[in-house]
Amino acid sequence: MKYQLLLLVKYVCLTNPYPMYNQHKVFRVFELLRLLRTVPYFTPNELAEKMEVSSRSAYRYLSLVEQLGYPLQKDERGAYFIHTDYVEIPLSMKELELISNWASKEVDHNPVAKSLLKRIQSIPAVPPK
């Protein structure tokens, strides 16, 4: 999941030059990921209501989550979900270092980069095996 989330942050930050808008979009995707793992499952219209966006935006967010590699599934009534047994792929230390370097350069004018850098710095260092 970390890899997909970092791809999401990069995508959102590069596609919109307004940092606060980017931050809200990222938070909505995090909220959507939480809702997709919640029982009962929600239809796109229900997701839109919960996320306080239009139905069209809910479909766009679902599409974005799917493009990021999350295995979305749909039940018989059209409600979307992600199985709770979905395995998340961790990032390597080299990948974290590259992302950290990017975020360090963006931290002064991008609140998402600042938040990302703070989260990366909170990851305990694990010595290689």
Low-confidence ranges of the chain (pLDDT < 70): 1-22, 84-91, 122-129
- Domains, the chain, in order of start with CATH, read 2-81 (1.10.10.10)
Q: Which pLDDT belongs to residue 43? A: 96
Distance between CA 7 and CA 97 in Å, rounded? 15
Instruction: Render 10-56 in DSSP notation, one character per residue.
Output: HHHHHH-S-HHHHHHHHHHHHHHHHHHTSSSPB-HHHHHHHHTS-HH
Distance between CA 98 and CA 94 in Å, rounded? 6
> What tens digit of pLDDT does each residue of 30-56 get?
899 889 988 889 999 999 999 999 999
Q: Which pLDDT belongs to residue 107? A: 82
